[in-house]
Structure 1
Amino acid sequence: MKLAHVAARFLASIWATMSALSANAADKPPLELAKTGYLYAGGHVDEAVEGQPMVGHLYAEFMIPAKLTHPYPIIMIPGGSQTGTNFTGTIAGDEGWAQYFARRGYAVYVIDQVARGRSAYWSPTVFAPLAPANINFVEQRFVAPERFKLWPQAHLHSQFPGSGTREDPYFQAFLATQFPSLADFGRQQKINTEALVALLDKIGPAILLTHSQSGAYGWPVADQRPNMVKAIVAIEPSGPPMHDIVFSGAPDWFKDAAPTKISGLGDIPLTYDPPLAGGSALEVEQQAQPDKPDLVRCWTQKAPARQLPNLRSIPIVIIMSEASYHASYDHCTAAWLTQAGVPNTFIRLADVGIHGNGHMMMVEKNADAIAGVIEKWLATAVPGK
C-alpha cells in the first residue's frame, strides 16, 4: 500500500509532460558540451599473468554539459551482455539517455562493465569463463517477447522498432551490440561493485542508474558508500529477491530457480541490522498467493525483518515497463526494500501512460518518454542548483 501511495504522488506531474517528450530527435539543437572524454577506475596490476596487465578496471566515458545545472552526475551502468551503447543511442538511431540528461544539465558517465567492451577481459584465470550472448535469449527476452509469450505480460510488447524477426535490420543492429559476459554472476557482482566504488571515490558523489544485471551492483555500492550515492534509479533491477525466475509460458508461467541470493538482493553481503552472524542466512518465507494472478509469489523476510540502515536515506526509484519479464516480479524488489526499512518509489510505466515497452526500454522507440519519467522523479528527489 505504501509503495502505491508513494508512486501515485508522481503520476499527475509525469502525465503532464508526456506529450512534450515525444518530439523527434531531428528537432533537437546541437548538444553543447564543456568537456567529453573517458577515464578508467579500479583494477590492479596482476603480476601472475603474462605481461602483468591491468585487470579489474572499468571504462567510463563522460559528457559534461556546457551549462551544468545539477550538482551530481549520473553514472549509467548497463546490464547483462550490454555495454554503454545502450545509453548513447537508440536502435533507431536517435540520441540515447546519456545525451538526454546532458541536454538537461547533468554530467553523465557511461560505463562498460569490468571484463566487457572497453574494460579489458584477459583470461578465465583472471576472471571466469565467458558465456556468449545467445540469439534465442535476445529474441525471446528483448526484441520480440510478444511472439513467444513466456510470461503473462509479453503480448503487450510493441515498442521495439521493426518487425522483430531475425532478418530485420533493427534486430541485426541490436544483436551486434551484444557482448559475452562472465559465466559466474557472483564474480561479476564482486568485481563490478569494487570498480564502481573506485569510480565514486575518483569522481565524487553521484546518482546511480542501473539496469537489469547491474541492479545487483547498485545496492552494495550504495551500502559501502552511502554518503556518496545520492540516488538510485533502478531500471528493472536484477531480481526478484532470493531466487531468480524460470519462465515456462502458460499455464504455470513461473518457477523459482534453485540458487539463493546471499543478501536477498544479490550475492554481495549487505549491512543488515541486526547483523547476520558469520555464515548464517536470512530467514525468509514466500507468499502463499501472489498479489495478482499474473505475478510471482514474492519472497520476504520473516518478521521481525532485518533492516538495511545504509540504504534508508538514499532516494530510490524502481521503474518497470509494461511488457518485460520484470513486469511479473519487480514489485517484489520494491517490497523487500520497504520491509527492510528502505523507502522507495515504484513506478509502473503503464500507470503513467507509457505502454508497450520491454526490458530494453532505453533503446526502444519511446525511450525519451521514459527518460522524462526519470527526469521528473530526479527533480523532486535530487533537486538541481
Structure 2
Amino acid sequence: MSLHALSIITLATLSMFVAPFISNAQASPDPIVISDQGSFAVGGRVQTVPGSFVNNEPTAAGQSFHGDHLYAFYQVPEHPRPLPIIMLHGAYVSGRSWETTYDGREGFQTIFLRRRFPVYIVDQPRRGRAGNSSVGMTLEPIPNDQLFFDQFRIGQWPKFFDHVQFDRRPETLNQFFRALTPNTGPYDATVIADAMAALFDKVGPAILFSHSQGGEPGWLTAIRSSNVKAVVAFEPGSGFVFPQGEKPADMPSAAGTLRAQEIATTDFAKLTRIPIIIYYGDNIPTRPTADRGKDNWRVRLAMAKLWVATINRHGGDARLVHLPEIGIRGNTHFLMSDLNNLEIADQVSKFLAEKKLD
C-alpha cells in the first residue's frame, strides 16, 4: 500500500518505540520526508496439484502453492535521485541487516534515504518475509551464536577484536544474535537471481547493493537484467563466477575449501558492462592461520582479488577496496551496520558520484 500524501518520519519518534534500551541512539535533527512507501512480492513460481478442491474435505488435490518469490519493502524520499538502490542481504540474515543498526543507529536504509535515493530492502526467497519455499527442508535449532561471532569477525569468542567497530554492550550483541534467521528451503542462488531479476524488471534501472552470500545471486542478477546499472558488494563470501577456462584453483582454509563457479564467457561478459566495487573490512589475515573465523575470509578476499582482475582483463570496470589499506580499520563482516557505517556510506557515495550514478 502506497502513501501518496507526504509522511514525515523522524528517528527520534521511532526510537521511542523500537530502541528504548539504547542510550546512544542519536536522533537526527532533520526529518526524513517520504513521498511513497510500500511492500510487495515479486518473482517466484506456482505449483498446482491435479484434481478437484473440495471445500469441506480439503486435501492437496486441486490446490495451488505460491512460493520462491522475494519480499521487497520500499521508500521513496521527497525529490528522489533517478536511480533507486536495491539492497540484498547475506546468509543467515534478512533485509533487517540494512535497517536500524544493532546498537540503534541509522543503517544504510535510512542513510541513503537521507541522500535522496529511493531504497528497496529485500528478503530473498526462502528467507524472512518470503518464507514460502517450493522445496521442503527440516529446521533444527542448532546453537551457533559463538560460531557467527567468530565467522563474522566481531572477535574470537568471548573476546572482541581490539578497536572493532562493533558496540560492545550486551544488548547490542543480543540484538545481533536475534537478527539471525534460517533458510526455510535449500539455498539456491539461481532461485534468488530469478526473483531479483523480476524485481529489477518491475523497478527499472537501479543500483544493486549485495552483502556476503548475496554476492553470487547479485552477479547472476546483473547477468540476467540490464536494469542493474552498478553493483556495490560488501564482503562477497562465495559464488565468484569466472568465464569458462579461467576458473582459479580451489582455495583451502581452516573453515573449508572455497571453490569458484564457472559460467559461459558470454554471460561473464555482461558483468563487464557496469561499474562494480567490492569492500572488505578488517582482521583478515594475508597468510594461512588456524583461526577459523579469520582464515575463512583470507581465501574470500584472495578470490575476490582474482575475480576483479578477471573482470578488468575482459574490459570491465571493477575495483576492490580493502578498508585497512586506506586507513579505515576495525570493520566486521557487517560494514553497513558497524559503528563507522557513515564513513563507509561516504566511500560508497564517492564511488556513485564518480560513476555518475547519483
| Coarse TM-score class (shorter-chain normalised) | 0.7 to 0.9
Distance 2:131 2:31 in 1: 32
SS in 2 for 1:90: coil
Q: Which whole-Å CA distance do the structure 2 matches of 1:132 and 1:319 have between them?
A: 32
- Deviation (angstroms), 1:368: 1.5
Tell me if 1:356 matches 2:330: yes
Give the match for residue 181 of structure 1. Answer: 183
Give the corresponding residue for 1:288: none
**Counterpart-to-counterpart distance in 2, 1:271 and 1:224:** 13
What is the rounded CA distance, in whole Å, between the counterparts of 1:73 and 1:237 in structure 2?
A: 21
Aligned residue pairs total 302
Q: Which residue pairs with 1:116 in the alignment?
A: 127
Residue 19 of structure 2 corresponds to none
Alpha-carbon distance, 1:189 to partner: 0.5
Cα pair distance change 1:121/1:320, threshold 3 Å: same
Q: Taking every aligned residue pair, what percent have the same amino acid on both sides?
A: 29
Q: Structure 1 residue 140 and structure 2 residue 150: aligned? A: yes
Q: Larger deviation: 191-200 or 364-373?
A: 364-373
Q: Take 2:186 and 2:69, find their aligned partners in 1: how far apart are those partners?
A: 17
Change (3 A) 1:352 1:119: same
**Does 2:135 correspond to 1:126?**
yes
Given the alignment, which residue of 340, 343, 355 partners 1:366? 340
Q: Deviations over 1:259-288 (max 9, x none)?
A: x4432xxxxxx3315x9xxxxxxxxxxxxx
CA contact (8 A) 1:321 1:349 kept: yes
1:39 paired with 2:36, answer no
1:65 Cα deviation after fit? 0.6
Q: In the alignment, what sits opposite 1:237?
A: 236
Q: Which moved more, 1:344-353 or 1:106-115?
A: 344-353
1:331 Cα deviation after fit: 4.2
Runs of 4+ in 1 over 4 A off after TM superposition: 127-133, 154-157, 240-247
Could you say which residue in structure 2 is the equivalent of 1:169? 171
Match of 1:62 in 2: 74
Please give the per-residue CA displacement for 1:126-147, whole angstroms capped at 9, x wherever unaligned: 2544466722322212363244
Partner of 1:160: 166
Displacement of 1:314 in angstroms is 0.5
TM-score by length of 2: 0.76
Q: Deviations over 1:89-146 (max 9, x none)?
A: 1011111101111111111100001111111234xx6254446672232221236324
Unpaired runs of at least 5, structure 2? 1-23, 50-58, 241-247, 285-293
Secondary structure of the residue aligned to 2:74 is strand
Deviations 1:171-218 (A, max 9, x none): 111111111125744xx2021011001101111111110000000111
Report the secondary structure of 2:211's partner residue: strand
1:156–1:322 Cα contact (<8 Å) kept = no
1:77 equivalenced with 2:88 (yes/no): yes
After superposition, the Cα gap between the structure-2 partners of 1:143 and 1:114, relative to the gap in structure 1 and judged at 3 Å, is same
More RCO (CA 8 Å, sep 6+): 1
1:53 alignment partner, SS class? strand
Structure 1 stretches lacking a partner, 5+ long: 1-22, 249-253, 264-269, 276-307
CA apart distance, 1:366:
1.4
Letter in 1 for 2:352: L
Residues 363 and 99 of structure 1: CA distance in aligned 2, closer, same or farther (over 3 Å): same
Q: Render the CA deviation track for 1:291-342: whole Å, top value 9, x for unaligned.
A: xxxxxxxxxxxxxxxxx31111200000111125435532432322322413
- Counterpart Cα distance in 2 of 1:31 and 1:244: 47
Instruction: Trace 1:202-281 onto structure 2 (pairs within 5 A).
Output: 202-225=202-225, 227-239=226-238, 241=240, 247-248=253-254, 256=257, 260-263=259-262, 270-273=263-266
Deviations 1:238-269 (A, max 9, x none): 23746886653xxxxx7625xx4432xxxxxx
Q: Distance in 1 between matches of 2:232 and 2:309?
A: 16
